[in-house]
Structure 1
Amino acid sequence: MPEITEAELDPSVKALWLKGLAAVQNKNHGYAIKLLQGVLKDAPGFLDGRKVLRKCEGLETGGPKKKSGLFGMKSGGGLGTMKLVSAVKKDPAAAIPMIEAELEKDPYNPEINDALFEAFLALDMKESAAFALETVRKGHPEQTKFLHKLAEFYITETQGLKAAEVYQDILKHDPTDSAAIKGEKDATARASMEKQKWGEDTNMRDLMRNKGEAEKMDKQARSGMTRDQMEARRDELAQAYADNQNDLGTVKELASVYERLEDWANALSFYEWAFSLSNGDVALRSKAEAMSDKVKSAEMAELERRAAENPDDPEVIAMLAERRKSSIEDAVAEATRRVDQNPTDPVLRYELGRALFDAEDYSGAIPQLQQAKRNPHIQSKVLLLLGRTFKAKGMLDMGVKQLESALEDLTAMDNTKKEVLYEKGLLHEAMDDKENAIACFKEIYEVDYGYRDVAQRVESSYGD
């Protein structure tokens, strides 16, 4: 049973999927659940559909439930967890619809999601398996037994960075967990090795021309490479480049070293040259674009520093203003170009909306952001920016409405929810609605005393 993308859906299933997305956008989560269940019945390997289904179920059921009854399930009704485990062992594919029927009632249930993990693992659907335990991580991060299982899964899949992040979450709930402490260190080390493509079973020396070249690669693989070592390696590569300017390996490595040295201009130059030598390697083009952004950011930071040191220098102030204007115009032009190339991509619509917002073209930003709402994975940040856009246009009540919609999808008090609540509080304040403004700030205050100026805002309200 292969995992598939939206592009691989059968046309009739894709039509049902689009209807489901429309129901999600209209906040008709119950109807969306039924539609998405139909999609997954015909396309069980469609992971994006399962993610949206789980999100809708979470909204419909009110979020994670406290454990009660045997095996963490509500007492009475539904299949027992042991029956699901038995069904997975007999026929994992047939067990998945049974598991989903239980998850509709309690989507974050750790034991049921664990059964789903085992079913997908048996079917070699590893991304879907990971999602099952990621759901537990999101809804019940205190259930560290399942987080350990997820981290160990990521280790076996050579995803050290993800494993390290899971171990870090475990330690937030139990700082004394010695297995997580060791696991986090080991996973971080593995992630560094993976980044360098230096696995335990890879004998890179067999690929080197001689022992001296192997030693150079050993140096590169070490995560603790000092600046002096990187500069020495840069000089070695520069000599090799002088001998042969068309060697792609040398050019790519030289670009990488310049990047690590934060010499953005040279990194840009060599990534661009590497791209031209590679016959269109998209990853190298992306690197070049990223370095171009770094160069512009560095130039902007330098101008801002000079302006801060010389606030009365009209030439520096004018240069900074011109550079800011040019940067915004470039961002709008680039985002517009990308949307023109792929007009159906909601993420690109969001990026264009954000660029237009920065350009203070709020009327132009609104339709782009409204189209970006089609993607449920970015809906919260789209609604946040829409709220700010309406605020900038003086349409405060409409701004509040967008933020209220965003909060409906946010269950955990993470940074996104804090940001939405804070912005909503500011909007209420601008509307002279002090009661609702303070209510927003208090929600943040209760979990994060140090967030921005909420402590001062909340505490001063008691003296009014």
Structure 2
Amino acid sequence: KRLDEAMQCYEQAIAINPRDQDALRARKNLSAEGQLGGGYATAKSSRELLKDEEGQAELEKSHRIHKSTDEISADLAAAEAQLTATPDDIDALRRVGEMRAIKGDIGGALDCLEKALKAAPDDLKLLTSVTDLQVKEIRVELDKANKLGDDAKAERLEEKISRLRTGVAKKKAEVHPTDLGLRHALGVLYLEGGDLDGGIAELQKSVKDPRHRLEALLHLGRAFRAKGMHDLARGQLEKALEVAGTQHARTLELLYELGELSEADDKVADARGFYSRILEVDIGYKDVSRKLETLKG
């Protein structure tokens, strides 16, 4: 009976939060124990007795999980009552919004957090929370579009997500203009959104930060290549290769980029050189073997 009660509690916890790994793992363990048909009444070994004690511990844990859920609901009700009394209170709006999000009410959470953000537009934490929830909401529609094969709608939704993320990154960079990590993140988002010049401008700042120098050089090389500026692209990629050395995870990727760039410029000998260096380390890397065979001809 106790195992049944524990299982019911876990099912309730999982229904509230399907991603609750503790509850999922405990349910699995409890299910396996139930299949043994043991317990104190039928235990025949110390191992079975131990399993029954573990089952009791799981039962107690399940009650704590369920109580926690009840507490969240009670806290939410209290917060909503406070919000009713003070509808323009930013802290109350934030608290209700965050708790609604925990319970999976994305629309209700956004109602509160967006209102709070209007009152405090420079609050970066609020801005991030609102954007994350907006993206989550859009991804639901994106999944539906993908399942229906509506590529046009899926593309529009992807672009919308990109604009939202770029907006947040831009705001953060404006508030903290000397933070090169934020500049780097903004530059990458600009490039992903198709704004090559905007991305290059930000990455040329973040390249001064040793933590981001390699990635910034790689992205700059790709951006200049996309603009048709192959000499500039080659310079950035060669600098990136110097930073990476021979053992970095990015080394083969950089050699491949330089090989493709050389091919595009009809520099066959250079291309073969870069591809051969890859082959020395990983014969199965992408289509390098085929490229070398083609270049030999």
> What's the TM-score bracket when you normalise by the shorter of the two chains?
0.5 to 0.7
* Whole-Å separation in 1 of the counterparts to 2:291 and 2:236: 23
Q: How has the CA–CA distance of structure 1 residues 410 and 252 changed in structure 2, closer, same or farther, with 3 Å as cutoff?
A: same
Q: Per-residue displacement from partner, 1:257-300 (whole Å, max 9, x unpaired)?
A: x7xxxx7x769959x98xx9xxxxx9998777656555545543
Equivalent position of 2:226 in the other structure: 392
* Whole-Å separation in 2 of the counterparts to 1:409 and 1:268: 48
Shift of 1:398: 0.8
Equivalent position of 1:306 in the other structure: 148
Matched, 1:436 2:270: yes
Q: How has the CA–CA distance of structure 1 residues 224 and 460 changed in structure 2, closer, same or farther, with 3 Å as cutoff?
A: farther
Contact 1:237-1:254 within 8 A present in 2 as well: no
Shift of 1:325: 2.4
TM-score by length of 2: 0.60
Q: How has the CA–CA distance of structure 1 residues 331 and 220 changed in structure 2, closer, same or farther, with 3 Å as cutoff?
A: closer
- 1:375 counterpart SS class: coil
Matched, 1:404 2:238: yes
Q: Matches of residues 58-457 of structure 1 in structure 2 within 5 Å?
A: 224-225=25-26, 237-245=68-76, 269=109, 293-297=135-139, 299-307=141-149, 316-457=150-291
Q: How has the CA–CA distance of structure 1 residues 234 and 391 changed in structure 2, closer, same or farther, with 3 Å as cutoff?
A: farther
Shift of 1:376: 1.0
Q: Matches of residues 2-41 of structure 1 in structure 2 within 5 Å?
A: none
Q: Which amino acid aligns with 1:360?
A: G
Shift of 1:384: 0.6
Q: How has the CA–CA distance of structure 1 residues 382 and 292 changed in structure 2, closer, same or farther, with 3 Å as cutoff?
A: same
- 1:409 counterpart SS class: helix
Q: How has the CA–CA distance of structure 1 residues 329 and 447 changed in structure 2, closer, same or farther, with 3 Å as cutoff?
A: same
* Whole-Å separation in 1 of the counterparts to 2:65 and 2:127: 22
Q: Per-residue displacement from partner, 1:98-118 (whole Å, max 9, x unpaired)?
A: xxxxxxxxxxxxxxxxxxxxx
* Whole-Å separation in 1 of the counterparts to 2:21 and 2:224: 50
* Whole-Å separation in 2 of the counterparts to 1:283 and 1:338: 10
Shift of 1:444: 2.2
Contact 1:366-1:389 within 8 A present in 2 as well: yes
* Whole-Å separation in 2 of the counterparts to 1:451 and 1:232: 52
* Whole-Å separation in 2 of the counterparts to 1:228 and 1:300: 35
TM-score by length of 1: 0.40
Q: Which amino acid aligns with 1:327?
A: I
Q: How has the CA–CA distance of structure 1 residues 349 and 234 changed in structure 2, closer, same or farther, with 3 Å as cutoff?
A: same
Shift of 1:430: 1.5
More helix by share: 2
Q: How has the CA–CA distance of structure 1 residues 398 and 269 changed in structure 2, closer, same or farther, with 3 Å as cutoff?
A: same
> In angstroms, what is the RMSD of aligned CA positions?
4.4
- 1:377 counterpart SS class: coil
Number of aligned positions between the proteins: 225
Name stretches of at least 5 consecutive residues in structure 2 with no aligned partner: 1-8, 14-19, 31-60, 80-96, 117-123
Name stretches of at least 5 consecutive residues in structure 1 with no aligned partner: 1-211, 277-281, 308-315
Shift of 1:442: 2.3
Shift of 1:387: 0.6
Structure 1 residue ranges, 4+ long, deviating more than 6 angstroms after superposition: 219-223, 227-235, 251-256, 282-288
Q: Which amino acid aligns with 2:72?
A: Y
* Whole-Å separation in 1 of the counterparts to 2:179 and 2:222: 22
- 2:228 counterpart SS class: coil
Q: Which amino acid aligns with 2:146?
A: E
Q: How has the CA–CA distance of structure 1 residues 426 and 228 changed in structure 2, closer, same or farther, with 3 Å as cutoff?
A: farther
Q: Which amino acid aligns with 2:184?
A: Y
* Whole-Å separation in 1 of the counterparts to 2:153 and 2:107: 25
Contact 1:372-1:379 within 8 A present in 2 as well: yes
Q: Per-residue displacement from partner, 1:34-76 (whole Å, max 9, x unpaired)?
A: xxxxxxxxxxxxxxxxxxxxxxxxxxxxxxxxxxxxxxxxxxx
Contact 2:99-2:109 within 8 A present in 1 as well: no
